[in-house]
Amino acid sequence: MKFRSDIHNITLLSKVAGSLSVVGKIGWLQLTPSHLQLRVLSTSDNSQSQVWATISSSSIFTDPKISSAHDNIINLEVPLDTLHRSLKSAASSYTSASIKLTKKEGIPRLSVIITTETAASMNHAKIVQDIPVRVLSPQSVAHLCKPLVPRPGCAVMLPPLNQLRGITDRYVKMVGANGRIVVEGNNNGVLKMKLDAEAVKVESEWRGLINPVVGEDGGMEWEDGEEDEEDEELNTQEKERFSKVMVDSRDWAKVVRVSAAGKRVIAWLCNNHSLVVYVFLDEEGDNQATIKFHGGLILRLNYYGDSVSGFETRR
């Protein structure tokens, strides 16, 4: 089993690891020649939370070398905080960086090797950050599959995240860490966030938000299509119809924190079923992360370096 590669975008890898470390301590890192997947592993038997990220190898690595007896796939258990700290420290000062799977004192480790250069002396310094990992068999992660989601009833761009985070924090204080928050939206640019408990009833509403079109393949279309008056009249009632999802207040607060890394954020509301949030990492919308809620909570975080790709949906 071997893995080694130069890293050309350590900032992105650090950002994704940091986002996942907000919601969990231990992660499953899967390395393949085409992509890497990083997923939060729950430490509680009662937890229904799942979080994962998928990143194309070419978005981060330069000429990666991966080999294993299982179709050149390597599965590792990693401490997310340690991974994030190592990558973050490297991202702030590196001239070049690489990563490899090693074994020291009988313990498998991911070694991040950072080369720095001081401007005054032009000398090079090499720093090695060792991250202890545990090798996972393919059988031990075979049950961790990605769920299907229904086609959303509504897709809406979220309001400014600093504003949304401030309101969410106030809601959590009012309802408690184990409370529930109702999120509603429609295709007429309206988003609502509600508390409906015995002691408190509060509602926040945003209007004039952008509604991207969800294509047949689950992708999003940004062009504004032309509608004649008859079509517009037929669609008015449908656009006004709200889709509703109820989420755990503490988990919603974490997701808002994760989403803060994005330049713009799109929410899919699958009525009474799930909430999907796309976090675009740049203004053009070409870099994408998604977070998915379903049942108690399933979070899905994907990154694509060169295209906008949608969730797998079912009718």
Beta strands 220-221 and 213-214, pairing class? antiparallel
Rounded to 5 degrees, what are φ and ψ at 132? -65, 135
pLDDT at 162: 85
Query: Domains of the chain by range and CATH?
Result: 2-141 (3.70.10.10), 151-227+234-278 (3.70.10.10)
**What interhelical angle do 80-91 and 10-21 show, nearest 10?**
150
Helices (H) and strands (E) in the chain, counts: 6, 23
Helix (H) or strand (E) holding 230: helix 229-240
Q: In whole angstroms, give the CA distance from residue 248 to residue 50.
A: 14
What's this model's pTM, rounded to 2 decimal places? 0.75
Q: In whole angstroms, give the CA distance from residue 2 to residue 203.
A: 54
Supply the DSSP symbol for 24: -
Q: In whole angstroms, give the CA distance from residue 84 to residue 250.
A: 22
pLDDT at 149: 72
pLDDT tens over the chain, length 315 residues: 999 999 998 888 888 888 888 878 999 999 999 988 888 876 554 445 567 777 888 888 999 999 999 999 999 999 999 999 999 887 777 788 999 999 999 999 999 998 887 666 567 788 899 999 999 999 998 887 766 677 888 999 999 888 899 999 999 889 876 788 999 999 999 999 998 777 788 999 999 999 987 755 455 554 444 555 545 555 777 889 999 988 888 878 888 887 776 777 888 888 888 887 777 765 554 444 444 444 434 444 444 433 333 344 443
Supply the DSSP symbol for 135: E
**What interhelical angle do 249-259 and 161-175 show, nearest 10?**
160
Q: Which two tokens stand for residue 247?
A: 């989420």
pLDDT at 120: 61
pLDDT at 289: 44
Q: In whole angstroms, give the CA distance from residue 202 to residue 173.
A: 12
pLDDT at 84: 93
